[in-house]
Structure 1
Amino acid sequence: MPESASASAREILTGLHAVMASRGSAQAKLDRVVDLIAEAMASEVCSIYVLKEGALELYATHGLNKEAVHQTRLDMGEGLVGTIAEQMLILNLEEASKHPQFAFRPETGEEHFHSFAGVPIVRHDVPIGVVTVQHEDSRKYLDVEIEALQTVAMVLSELLANAGIADGTKGRARNTGEQQLAGLKLVTGMARGRAVFHQPKVTVEHTVAEDTEAERARVYQAFRRMREQIDNMTRDAEFGVHGEHEEVLETYKMFAYDEGWSRRINEAIDSGLTAEAAIERVQQRTRTRMQEIDDPLLKERMHDLEDLSNRLLRIVAGKSGTAAQQGLQEDTVLIARNLGPADLLDYDRRRLKAVVLQEGSLTAHVTIVARAMGVPMVGKIEEIRHIAADGDQILVDGDSGTITVRPSDTSRDRFDKAMATSNERRAEFAAQRDKPAETKDGARVELMVNAGLADDADQLESSGAEGIGLFRTEFQFLVAATLPGRESQYKLYKQVLQLAGDKPVVFRTLDIGGDKALPYLDEKDEAENPAMGWRALRLSLDRQALMKAQARALLEAAAGRHLKVMFPMVSEPWEYEEARALFEDQVAWLRKRKRFLPTVIEYGAMLEVPALAEMLDQLLPRCDFISIGTNDLTQFLFAADRGDPRLADRYDWLSPAILRFLKRVIDACNAHETPLRICGEMGGRTLEAMALVGMGLRRFSITPAAVGPIKAMIRSLDASEIESRMTELLADPPRDMRRVLKEWAQAHEIVLD
């Protein structure tokens, strides 16, 4: 290749522009293109493969046997070319035949060539071809040569799209016909609506610039706007009492002002690309580097730059707003790669019916918020952006973790019937709202709900719950861009108590850190298992200013009322004592200043760490109540990450190991007459709740949607019968406890959801 790689790229691009503007067939143009690239890169071979009917067809070549054109075909994943297309990666090989994916095709006459480089031709995030170069010498191509080849691939994408000769480039074929996709169940429920993308798609339609200086001016203007946005976000942030800096914003700011990044975009414009194409070109370079990085911290930083590139691209293209800012016009299924909880709360709840994520996890903040909002959500649908288009109808079944894009009439009718049945069942549960949660033999069960938003308290009456057994105070922190101050916390707690009326509310102090990391708190890098790391009460006792501010806000908000406070992730009694003492210090501080205080204050502990169960004889005399968080407790008992989908169904809540552990805790609390409540997801499942009642548990805090089904189950149950059966089963556990309990429930006509 000539000494000046950028000059060569410019030369190629100029030639490609002339080819694209000329008359002639697509075949004639591609034949000219391979000659042009080979000459400019001083390469003995240049070939273009086009994806047609699911296979990569040799469409044009300079240097290989011409007879192989339209004859040589490789499946996706087959050979070097198929590997490049399938994995959308770059290959740069000194000796092609030594690569494990090398597949020799004798008709091409390529046995004389040793070095090989290839890059994918991508359109709408989908591979539609591959461009390759080869040389007789055994050498690796220079980085600048590979970058020039990537630039060429961008222009070829436009040429192939205009010609309509590659799969997926003739109109919008992918948007016709029904597609059923399976993913990860995040939030249960069924819904239907039209597809809306959270971030407007930016497709680079024109790659070759007409006026280089005009494109440069557009990029400069976009950089100014982006930097203003980042500066405003940084300036408006409140960084807490210790002056912690907001790491994510500071990283964004660092990248936004990075001269190297802007210089590379300018160089891409110099080569003849449009502003959008230049940004995407540099973004491709970033993605390539990310594939080569093993360090997770560096990868995270590269992800930051990727996000910032997307922001810049949207500004240049005039598509900087989200769908929430534009407003939803009809019942909507929102599609996104991922979402933050604040993003979700921006949407009109009347129109937002469901969410589909390319990524997503069971423990993600947005999943917790969506569950609280009652919005069905399915994750891990990686291909959704390639299959669905804006406006497509989508059916979402959060109960099975499946979605249907562009459903047929048959699928739509079947889904509507299933949803109607589900709605009828919910109506039956709602009809029991005012009936007591009492077993047939008179055992009274308390049903409360888990909440985290003020609106949840407003719906207490309609749910039929007796109060809020777990108010997750961290929600306010998760959805905020900056650290909420004491005053904003006070306003939220006051509002929740007012909406709850005379019903009790149990406030859990902050459960942040670990897998609920807040970007505006400057925490050291977490360990590989954040759920067992510096989080919840551990973090609060370390950052006492945070806990003091929350204590003051809770005490002042509950003035003249009964306040219930619960500390999360208590591992040993001294942690509970230290947290309680911190609250009591704030009580003394307020009393000294003659402030109005709560009439009664109760303190409780969450039992999530198994070690605490061994210290109940020490803890219970000092504690007003206990709540069991079954989500964390289960993963700690089984050493199984609940966020890992591979383990989602591996360890059952009805495992004898879990049940025996819980029975021990229930018996200890009952013997000490300390109120015990289950507030994890286990309590919101009818079969599991039946087992818990059979072990003597009488207090539950569950999702609002679970109140009806659990109440119906309780009202169909004889407590003494299930207690007797559970005693037998725990003494001699069957291998499949779930099957045995289900058969018992069916034989006794227990209402299960």
Structure 2
Amino acid sequence: MLKGIPVSPGVAISTALFLESKSITTEKKSITKEEISTEQQKLEVGITQTEEQLTKLHQQLLDSVGEEQASIMSAHLMLLKDPAFIDEINNHIQNDLIDVSSAVQVTVDQFVKIFENIDDEYMRERATDIKDIGNRLIANILGKSEEKTIQPEGSFILVSDDLTPSETVTLPRDRVKAIIVAKGGKTSHAAILARSLGIPAIMGIGEQLAIEIATGDSLIIDGSTGEIFINPDAALISAYEEKQKEEQKEKEQLALLKDRKAVTKDGTPIELVANIKGPQDAEEVLEQGGEGIGLFRSEFLFMDRSSLPSEEEQYDAYSEVVKNLGGKPVIIRTLDIGGDKHLPYLDLPEEMNPFLGWRAIRISLSRPALFQTQLRALLRASAHGKVRIMFPMISNLEQIQEVKRILEETKKQLADESIAFDPDIETGVMIEIPSACLIADELAKEVDFFSIGTNDLVQYTLAVDRMNEHISDLYDHFHPAVLRLIKMVIDASHRNGIWTGMCGEMAGDLHATEILLGLGLDEFSVSPTLLPKIKHQLLQLSMEKAQQVAQHALSLGTPAEVQEYAIASHSVS
């Protein structure tokens, strides 16, 4: 058996088809100054041809799975036409005196290196997208085909060392039963597309994939657990065929919950909302029965581009989501950049400890023009629905007081210009630093809500870099210290008449649901695909028992004890 990262749920039973990557190799060639213009003309022709291909793929996605997934190809087109990308290629041609295909490769390698060193998983996976665009552009310049071809008839499980978004789009959906890829993770665009297409997928297996699996092998894959069984016996096949039937039944049952409110068995209502990266994700929230947006990560509007988005661009994006939600609440987090997320055009300095450095609200407060532009766009969007503004990485009382002063100043500007906005717009603090937990009573007097960001809170509380493989086992949101800080924050909010939500990964952990409910959490904000399962879980729980479970969990001494207890409690709920 092999095990990888489960990225798209579902069981598949079929025959393996192993596809080797057709890598485009470039041999660096020197050119003369007289040849510069010729090479730059080749670049223009290659870009035009690549643009035509990506536009065609964009239309294919629009027709098959809709605008949300088609936006992946839109992002590819934006990068292809990004002046910074094109200028860098031209600079290498002109200054390094190398041929155009080599210049593209050097530029792509530069961009890939930047993205691969980003801690954020979603942004790190964009390195594959850049390689995809680069390979396609180089192939067009050289007059070669860079895509894999699928010829066999009948159904199969696709096995590959790597899979780009454009290759995923062109898969024969009626014959591909599942996807197994050596590279990639949950946030790769190939994984996102696999989930959208309903194809079970496992990624990140590594080099063992090519050693263990060959074309023609019989396979079972479980996209929920990441397990791959090679040439299984009849008994195992029969067991997984039964699991396929159970999955389909569960899917049909969860779909029936779409319009039900998340209310515990003893009548406690819980707000169940979703995290999104952009306007393209809003539709899925409604399809999955979400009651609103608990976290709109506004920084994604600032990425994959060569300059700051204007007030109008931001306003259009925010208002699109607000209008699509039809009156349901939308929490938009102000720019959370720095740390692992870099914007080249902001010219942020290199730092010894970027996660403890100049990032998030610290940048916003030091760049008032940048901050006010975003606040203006957010306030204007509030005229179209229920917008709530959330401020990230607040560590002291002075910061939130200064934020509120700038917000009031921005409101006055808009009022003087007779521009509509919600004057009573709600504001909140993202609780992700231990100091914020410890002064939660004081912070609660300044805002309307808290939202706990467990990803950073766990990292900062335990002094663990979750991306460091040597100590990643120490990163655990079941740590008693983390639970006690969460309890401290929730109690402080309730004492001061406001509510607390959670938008970190812990909110989507089914084993943690009962403990969080018992700690008093008012809102769960999770990935849209998790909404039905979390809702189903909440409907099965009682607040009385959850409080008992949480109280016992708080008395335990180790993360392992808490997790073991949580799993045991979950299994009998």
TM-score, reference length from structure 2: 0.73
Equivalent residue, structure 1, for 2:124: none
Greater shift in the superposed pair: 404-413 or 433-442 = 404-413
Equivalent residue for 1:537, pick from 361, 377, 381 = 361
The whole-number CA distance in structure 1 between the counterparts of 2:92 and 2:328 is 50
Is 1:401 aligned to 2:218, yes or no?
no
Aligned partner of 1:189 among 6, 9, 15 = 9
State the AA in 2 paired with 1:442. G
Structure with bigger RCO (C-alpha 8 Å, 6+ apart):
2
Aligned match of 1:450: 275
Q: Aligned to 1:442, what secondary structure does the other structure show? A: coil
Q: Counterparts of 1:446 and 1:677 in 2: how far apart (Å)?
A: 8
Distance in 2 (alpha carbons) for counterparts of 1:680 and 1:457: 18
Q: Does 1:202 align with 2:24?
A: yes
Q: For residues 223 and 637 of structure 1, do their structure 2 counterparts lie closer, same or farther at Cα, with a shift above 3 Å needed?
A: same
- State yes or no: 1:485 paired with 2:310: yes
One-letter code aligned to 2:439:
M
Question: Match of 2:383, SS?
Answer: coil
Counterparts of 2:463 and 2:519 in 1: how far apart (Å)? Answer: 24
Instruction: Give SS of 2:512's match.
Output: helix
Q: In 1, Cα distance between the equivalents of 2:570 and 2:529?
A: 21
Mapped to 1, the partners of 2:259 and 2:381 lie a distance apart of 29
Amino acid at match of 1:226: L
Correspondences of 1:618-637 after superposition (within 5 Å)? 618-637=442-461
Aligned to 2:532: 708
Change (3 A) 1:414 1:569: farther
- Report the secondary structure of 2:430's partner residue: strand
Partner of 2:69: none
Kindly state the Cα deviation for residue 505 of structure 1 after the two structures are TM-superposed: 0.9
Residue by residue over 1:323-360, the C-alpha shift from the partner in whole angstroms, topping out at 9 and shown as x without a partner, is 89xxxxx9996967587xxx689958995998766554
Aligned twin of 2:113: none
Q: CA RMSD in A?
A: 4.9
SS of the equivalent of 1:257 reads helix
Within 2, Cα distance between the matches of 1:386 and 1:346?
19
Choose from 438, 444, 456 the match for 2:263: 438
Q: What does residue 293 of structure 1 align with?
A: none
Over residues 15-48 of structure 1, what are the superposed CA-to-partner deviations in whole Å (9 max), with x where a residue is unaligned?
A: xxxxxxxxxxxxxxxxxxxxxxxxxxxxxxxxxx
The CA distance in 1 between the partners of 2:364 and 2:194, in whole Å, is 26
Q: Equivalent residue for 1:83?
A: none
- Structure 1 residue 662: deviation in Å? 1.0
User: Judging changes above 3 Å, is the alpha-carbon distance between structure 1 residues 455 and 195 closer, same or farther for their aligned structure 2 residues?
Assistant: farther
Inter-CA distance 312–466: structure 2 relative to 1 (3 Å threshold): closer
CA distance 1:431–1:560, change in 2 (3 Å): closer
For residues 10 and 526 of structure 2, what CA distance do their matches in structure 1 show? 20
Counterparts of 1:242-321 in structure 2, within 5 Å, are 246=84, 251-259=88-96, 261-262=98-99, 314-319=139-144
Q: 1:307 to 1:322 in 2, by over 3 A?
A: closer
What residue number does 2:66 align with? none
| Deviation for aligned residue 1:386 | 5.7
Q: What is aligned with 1:696?
A: 520
Q: Which of these two proteins has the greater Rg computed from alpha carbons?
A: 1
Give the Cα separation in 2 of the matches to 1:662 and 1:428: 32
Q: What is the CA distance between 1:230 and its match in structure 2?
A: 8.3
Q: TM-score, normalised by structure 1?
A: 0.57
Mapping for residues 234-633 of structure 1, pairs under 5 Å: 237=82, 246=84, 251-259=88-96, 261-262=98-99, 314-319=139-144, 347=169, 359-360=183-184, 378-383=202-207, 397-402=222-227, 417-480=242-305, 483-527=308-352, 530-559=354-383, 561-633=385-457
Paired amino acid for 1:512: I
For 2:350 and 2:216, the matched residues in 1 are separated by: 41
| Separation in 2, partners of 1:391, 1:657 | 51
2-side partners of 1:313 and 1:500: how far apart? 42
Deviations 1:155-200 (A, max 9, x none): xxxxxxxxxxxxxxxxxxxxxxxxx653345x35237699898985
- Partner SS for 1:736: helix
Gaps in structure 2 of 5+ consecutive residues: 52-77, 110-116, 119-127, 150-154
Q: Distance in 1 between matches of 2:18 and 2:415?
A: 53
Aligned-partner residue type, residue 448 of structure 1: V
Q: Does 1:721 find its partner at 2:545?
A: yes
- Specify which of 219, 222, 225 is matched with residue 42 of structure 2: 225
* Rounded Cα–Cα distance in structure 2 between residues aligned with 1:578 and 1:338: 47
**Shift in Å, 1:596:** 1.5
Aligned to 1:130: none
| Aligned mates of 1:445, 1:523 — CA distance in 2 | 40
Separation in 2, partners of 1:481, 1:720 = 53
Alignment of 1:94-133 (within 5 A): none
Partner of 2:60: none
> What SS does the aligned partner of 2:414 have?
helix
Deviation at 1:626, TM superposition (A): 0.6
Q: CA deviation at 1:587?
A: 1.6
2:489 aligns with one of 665, 681, 684? 665
Q: Is the 8 A contact 2:328 2:386 kept in 1?
A: no
The answer to whether the 8 A contact 1:450-1:701 is kept is: yes
Overall identity of the aligned pairs, in %: 31
Q: 1:492–1:672: structure 2 CA closer, same or farther, 3 Å change rule?
A: same
Which residue identity lines up with residue 388 of structure 2 in the other structure?
Answer: K
SS at 2:429 equivalent: strand
- SS across alignment from 1:484: coil
Describe the shift of the 1:407–1:506 C-alpha distance in structure 2 as closer, same or farther (beyond 3 A): farther
1:674 aligns with 2:498: yes
Distance 1:309 1:678, change over 3 A: closer
CA deviation after TM superposition for structure 1 residue 606, in Å: 0.3
Question: Hey, what does 1:39 align to over in structure 2?
Answer: none
Count of aligned pairs: 510
- Greater mean alpha carbon deviation, residues 390-399 or residues 436-445: 390-399
| 1:227–1:253 Cα contact (<8 Å) kept | no
Deviation at 1:588, TM superposition (A): 1.3
